[in-house]
Amino acid sequence: QLVESGGGSVQAGGSLRLSCDASRYTFSAYCMGWSRQTPGKEREGVAAIDSDDSADYSDSVKGRFTVSKDMTKNTIHLQMNDLKPDDTGMYYCAATSDCLALMTNPGYLEALGIGYWGQGTQVTVS
């Protein structure tokens, strides 16, 4: 139900734009967001945008990443600028009723099967 795209390899300081295609129902009814995971580390909430279009960001990406909705295409985007090697990881799109949980404990949500999750797209910054 959620399909990510736009990952790739980029040098530090570069930019990437991730996209997540969602069904009409998921898009309008849920908090949508992005989390990322690096081997050996817990999944980290990166950015989320609620049904009222309010957005939240982790401190590590604030000022560099922007999450947005394209209502005409039922798609959310994550514009990532000034990328750093620490931004490397698998990025997952998610839809859930709880924006706070998506940002603070995304691994817990997915482990319990709460919400909807994409398969992930790899971002590598060197």
> Tens of pLDDT along 43-70?
999 999 998 899 999 999 999 999 999 8
Counted residue by residue, the chain has a size of: 126
How crowded is the C-beta side of 15, counted as CA atoms within 13 Å? 9
Each residue's pLDDT expressed in tens, for the chain with a length of 126 residues: 899 999 999 999 999 999 999 876 667 778 999 999 988 899 999 999 998 899 999 999 999 999 999 888 889 999 999 999 999 999 999 999 999 999 999 999 999 999 999 999 999 999
